[in-house]
Copies of this chain bind each other. A is one copy, B any other.
Amino acid sequence: MKNIAILGSTGSIGCSTLNLVEAYPERFRVLTLAAGRNLESALEQARRWQPRVLSLAEEADAAQAQAALAGAGLNEIEVVHGTEGSVRVATHPDVEFVVSAIVGVAGLQATYEAVRAGKTVGLANKECLVAAGELLTAAARASGKPLLPIDSEHNAIHQCLRGGRAQEVEQIWLTASGGPFLNTPKSAFPGITAEQALNHPTWRMGRRITIDSATLMNKGFEVIEACRLFALPPGRVRVIVHPQSTIHSMVEFVDGSILAQFSVTDMRLPILYALTYPERIGSELRFPVLELRRLDFCPPDLEKFPCLALAYEAAEAGGSLTIALNAADEVAVSEFLEGTIGFDQIPKVISETLRETQKRQPESIPEVLFMDAEARSVATSWAQRLSRSKPPLPRVASAIQHGE
Point out residues on A near B: beta carbons under 8 Å: 159-160, 162-165, 168, 170, 173, 238, 240, 247, 250, 252-264, 269, 272-273, 276, 279-287, 289-290, 292-299
Majority-rule SS of A interface residues: mixed
Query: Is there contact, CB below 8 Å, between B292 and A240?
Result: yes
Chain B neighbourhood of A262, CB < 8 A: 257-258, 260
Least distance between A14 CB and chain B CB atoms (Å): 20
Least distance between A154 CB and chain B CB atoms (Å): 13
Residue of B nearest to A256 (CB): B285
Query: Is there contact, CB below 8 Å, between A283 and B254?
Result: yes
Query: Is there contact, CB below 8 Å, between B256 and A263?
Result: yes
Cα separation A299 to B284 with both chains bound (whole Å): 22
Query: Is there contact, CB below 8 Å, between A258 and B287?
Result: yes
Top 3 nearest A-B pairs by Cβ distance? A256-B285, A292-B297, A168-B280
Chain B neighbourhood of A298, CB < 8 A: 293
Query: Is there contact, CB below 8 Å, between A289 and B254?
Result: no
Query: Is there contact, CB below 8 Å, between B160 and A163?
Result: yes
Cα separation A284 to B289 with both chains bound (whole Å): 32
Chain B neighbourhood of A170, CB < 8 A: 282
Chain B neighbourhood of A290, CB < 8 A: 238, 240, 299
Known: A262-B260, A280-B253. A294 touches B292 (CB 8 A): no
Least distance between A163 CB and chain B CB atoms (Å): 5
Chain B neighbourhood of A279, CB < 8 A: 165, 168
Chain B neighbourhood of A257, CB < 8 A: 159, 261-263, 269, 273, 280
Additional 10 contacts, C-beta under 8 A, given A159-B163, A258-B261: A159-B259, A160-B259, A163-B163, A165-B280, A254-B280, A255-B273, A256-B263, A258-B262, A258-B263, A294-B295
